[in-house]
Structure 1
Amino acid sequence: MTRTLLTTLLCTVGLALTAKTPYIAVSVMHYWNAETGPYVELHYITQTSSLSYAEVELGYQTNLEVTAMILDGEEVLNYDKFVFNSEVFADTTKNYFMFEFSRLGVREGSWQIRLELRDLNEPGSLRIVEDSLDIEAPSKTSLSGLMITELETLSDNYVRFGIPAFPRAVDHMTYYPTEDSILSFYTEVYQPETPERLIATYGIYNINTRELVDGYNGSSTVRAEGVYPVAARIPLHDLPTGTYFLKLEVFNREGEILTGDSLAFGRRNNNVELPMLDISNHVPALSFLNDYQGEETWKFLADCTFPIATNLERIQMASLIEEGDTVKLRRFVTSFWIERDPANTREKFQNYMDRVEEVNRMYGGGMLRGYQTDMGRVRLQYGDPNNVENRLFDNETYPYQIWQYNRLTSPNRASQTNKVFIFVNREIAGNEYNLIHSDAYGEVYDPQWIYRVSRGNNRGNNPDSRSSDFNSDPFGSRLNNNTIINSGSSNSINRR
């Protein structure tokens, strides 16, 4: 298959012909084919500023070799290998994003995914990125996963069922500036048993109140087919600046929810003026920040404030990271910390960065830094939980943890008491726990979280079911007998 390499001009920075660490971000989309079974699409993004230039005819070029493998131990189940070749530039001052993707079929099971990155202009260079990969073929009505997409794509590789399916963001939350006023999404509905006519509803919700934003919703008919795409475009012209989430749910004729998914995104709308951090040239310089240099460093210093930033600051941050202007990023970071503590800015900054380093050690690995994981974000945003119940193994469940807080405080939210967070690790070979439910204001809320923790026969047919059968407690399972929520026994509990 001929590969089409998409490049987008980002900004202009000075680059030296020295050894660098190749940067790559990857998103994994799970799909299913009724005849051939499950497969994944890996969407990659890298940028030339993380690579070394080589002098070639007519200018300079970067070349990154990527080998993507799905492994069972040391056995290679499937792989892909390609090279990111940048355009040839007149000099080394251009910084481009480059995109690629792989499509790999793989049978059901818990595997590992390994990326080997070689900068071909740095002999002997090798960076390895590893993570777990859990593959399940659908046993009932389900979704491929919700993707917020670009309106158009330059390559047929990113077209599915005649619909552009190129992800708008790979390595960060999707962001819509004022000039981009149409949100598009794509997913696939799978009915592996007896397909029937269904209805898919979608809408934009306020991430804090969880309420539907009036006028930003719609529906689509799902035909009685084993695989059927669902896509739509939602105008955002009058949507104010803020953080939202797109939610899609699939219903049967009886009005029962069969499956669903959601994705957060940010909106910056200059047509509605809201207070933002000052990034003008009037921002005072902080001498203790002088040791930090380089675009990636300043992107990191801005990005790692996400857990403690307000919703508006998160939108502003995402915009600046996408723009990549180091001067504006530095001003943002400076204003952010002066806003937090004008008198003891350095101490406030250093204490937080120590915490970031701590959660990076605790939860980092694979393709995410610790502060980018759900557990890392929650610990940075709310502090250490008062109680932790840890379920490492159960015959009927995936490993999961319940964190309980006596008191929660967070920017732009009222103080809350006695709140819980439930994390699950559905990829047994890995150690990344995803937040699936919390009763805290502004967090993901799923009262039927037991469905997502359960595996095997305890899942039930309807994730929204309230029946006693669904909440049954089969032999070996303590889902309904946990210490924090139901005052039962536990496998492991840490009191703080």
Structure 2
Amino acid sequence: MKRLFFVFLAIFFSVQSLSAQNTRAYLGYNIFYSPKDGPYIETYVSIDGRTVEWKKSPNKLFQAEVELTLIFEKDSQIVSFSKKIIKSKEVKDSSGMQIEFMNAQRFAIPNGDYILKIKMDDMNDTLDADYIMTNISIAIPDTAASISSIEAVQSFSETEKAGNASHSGFDFIPNIYNFFSERDSIFTFYAELYHVDLSTGVGEPYILNYYISSFETNQVLPRYKRFERRKAQSVDAILGQFDVSTLPTGNYVFTIELIDKSLSTIVQKDYFFQKENQHIKMDETDVSSINIINTFAELITGRDTLIDIIKSMRPISSTEEVEFAKYIIKQGDDHLLQQYIYNFWQKRNPLEPSKPFIAYMVEVMRVNREFKTSIKKGYETDRGIVYLKYGQPNSIMKEYHEPATYPYEIWHYYGIKGQSNVKFVFYDTDLATNDFKLLHSNAIGEMNNYNWRLQLRKRDSGYKSIDQTGREVDEWGTRYNEYYEQPR
């Protein structure tokens, strides 16, 4: 049976897979700027040594080889191209094959929107190569301040001979996974700052803030906030660290922002990541000590009502809050449930916690009315969850009767959580329940499905060519490409 590659596109923490086999590769990329050559992109491909073939050489050592082809296209024209053989280090036996081996490359590419096509071929087998593609947008202006991609760093050392992953006198090994396990106690980052002097004036003072916030609540975590006073230059850089050994399991955003002397934001850059820390839990005593007398939470009675409200808050809850809510629903009394509800909204609005609570409950009633099914409340459905997390879309395109597709909806947001032009694709495969499932999104932290077009089209069951993506042309009577690329 053919061995295929999984490709994980780490930039959005989204998984793109070619087949349900065991060979895995990981792709990450960062965008930087050179005053001499303009924007460039660094790509990092890491191959899981446990899932490729190893060949014994005449010196009785084993080595793996993968041919990697990267093609950057714009308007169907090739802009840049590379074909290389990625070789592992030589090992003595199978115990040494439990490694990952990485390749880093640089491509000087102007600002614009591109398609990156990737071909990978295990050179030690006789099977066909595998393909995948992803969209990349490059936008670093020449006339205003900007920040490079934020690079999460696995390790770094002083540069002896500059390579494709060298910056500011250091060689970096990037962490391309956007995921930090319990073993990862330090979050190290690197970023470059461009043309700050054009926004403030040469040598003018500004403040560089960097901090970690909850992805779900946008709340900045005070323990993970730093600032530096700097003077504006044409090119600058920052290399820093946070101890995240006690950061609870959850979704987070690391932010770098530049503030001018009038306290206005010059520019900001975000980096989404996930942290695993199963031994760090919410403390029940922090909630059970809260006084709810004469608050809105005291007026909410009935265990079923309390549980329903807490479950409806899940779309906007942090991972830590979700787990704690599960616990108190099983173990807590009604008073603790009331305290949890009050604490949840007080954290989001300390002065008037009832105000966001009431506004949110209005939205819950709306999604329950519009998206409910015969077995689910609206807030439990994918459309309801997205609506409650991100609000009402700026546009919704609905197509329920196209001949070649399942019924589908494409939601478009002008911007959410610092990301512009965000889209969600939902579809209904059983044609009866009104339970539209999330098929694809380009939103950070959401499911990104490279094959969404093929899954939407009932008559397509798979593809083998790099050109068979469902993107090139709509089936007769269908408009999903038009609606996705040009939302109304």
- Shift in Å, 1:251: 0.8
Contact 2:412–2:487 (CA under 8 A) maintained in structure 1: no
* Residue identity opposite 2:28 in structure 1: S
Pair 1:152-2:150 in alignment = no
Aligned partner of 2:56 in structure 1 is 55
- Shift in Å, 1:124: 5.2
Q: Distance in 2 between matches of 1:166 and 1:89?
A: 21
Q: Distance in 1 between matches of 2:214 and 2:262?
A: 28
Relative to structure 1, the CA distance from residue 310 to residue 92 in structure 2 (aligned partners, 3 Å threshold; closer, same or farther) is farther
* Residue identity opposite 2:269 in structure 1: D
Matches within 5 A, 1:235-314: 235-269=243-277, 272=280, 311=319
Pair 1:232-2:247 in alignment = no
Q: Pick from 200, 204, 219: which aligns with 2:208?
A: 200
Aligned partner of 1:161 in structure 2 is 168
Contact 1:146–1:185 (CA under 8 A) maintained in structure 2: yes
Aligned partner of 1:65 in structure 2 is 67
Pair 1:185-2:189 in alignment = yes
TM-score, normalised via structure 1 length: 0.51
Aligned partner of 2:110 in structure 1 is 107
Pair 1:216-2:227 in alignment = no
Structure 2 stretches lacking a partner, 5+ long: 1-20, 284-314, 324-329, 331-380, 398-409, 424-438, 447-485
Aligned partner of 1:173 in structure 2 is 178
- Shift in Å, 1:201: 0.5
Contact 2:251–2:318 (CA under 8 A) maintained in structure 1: no
* Residue identity opposite 2:208 in structure 1: A
Contact 1:222–1:228 (CA under 8 A) maintained in structure 2: no
Q: How many residues are treated as equivalent by the alignment?
A: 305
Q: Distance in 2 between matches of 1:67 and 1:135?
A: 20
Aligned partner of 2:427 in structure 1 is none
Pair 1:133-2:140 in alignment = no
Q: Distance in 2 between matches of 1:422 and 1:107?
A: 21
Aligned partner of 2:26 in structure 1 is 25
Aligned partner of 1:470 in structure 2 is none
Relative to structure 1, the CA distance from residue 237 to residue 309 in structure 2 (aligned partners, 3 Å threshold; closer, same or farther) is closer
Q: Distance in 2 between matches of 1:224 and 1:163?
A: 22
- Shift in Å, 1:25: 2.2
Relative to structure 1, the CA distance from residue 131 to residue 22 in structure 2 (aligned partners, 3 Å threshold; closer, same or farther) is same
- Shift in Å, 1:131: 2.2
Relative to structure 1, the CA distance from residue 423 to residue 255 in structure 2 (aligned partners, 3 Å threshold; closer, same or farther) is closer
Aligned to 1:137, what secondary structure does the other structure show? Answer: coil
- Shift in Å, 1:383: 6.7
Aligned to 1:128, what secondary structure does the other structure show? Answer: strand
- Shift in Å, 1:72: 3.4
- Shift in Å, 1:421: 12
Pair 1:424-2:421 in alignment = yes
Contact 2:250–2:318 (CA under 8 A) maintained in structure 1: no
Relative to structure 1, the CA distance from residue 238 to residue 92 in structure 2 (aligned partners, 3 Å threshold; closer, same or farther) is closer
Aligned partner of 1:353 in structure 2 is none
RMSD: 4.5
* Residue identity opposite 1:256 in structure 2: S
Aligned to 2:173, what secondary structure does the other structure show? Answer: coil
Relative to structure 1, the CA distance from residue 241 to residue 24 in structure 2 (aligned partners, 3 Å threshold; closer, same or farther) is closer
The superposition leaves residues 50-104 of structure 1 with CA deviations (integer Å, 9 ceiling, x where unpaired) of 3222232314322101121222355432223322212333444633211111100
* Residue identity opposite 1:106 in structure 2: I
Q: Distance in 2 between matches of 1:107 and 1:140?
A: 16
Contact 2:256–2:268 (CA under 8 A) maintained in structure 1: yes
Relative to structure 1, the CA distance from residue 160 to residue 314 in structure 2 (aligned partners, 3 Å threshold; closer, same or farther) is farther
* Residue identity opposite 1:68 in structure 2: L
* Residue identity opposite 1:401 in structure 2: H
- Shift in Å, 1:432: 8.0
- Shift in Å, 1:229: 0.6
* Residue identity opposite 1:66 in structure 2: L
* Residue identity opposite 1:181 in structure 2: S
- Shift in Å, 1:435: 3.4
Contact 2:145–2:194 (CA under 8 A) maintained in structure 1: yes
Aligned partner of 1:83 in structure 2 is 85
Aligned to 1:152, what secondary structure does the other structure show? Answer: strand
- Shift in Å, 1:382: 2.2
- Shift in Å, 1:221: 3.5
- Shift in Å, 1:272: 4.3
Aligned to 2:98, what secondary structure does the other structure show? Answer: strand
Aligned partner of 2:428 in structure 1 is none
* Residue identity opposite 1:174 in structure 2: F
Pair 1:117-2:128 in alignment = no
Q: Considering only CA atoms, is the larger Rg found in Structure 1 or Structure 2? A: 2
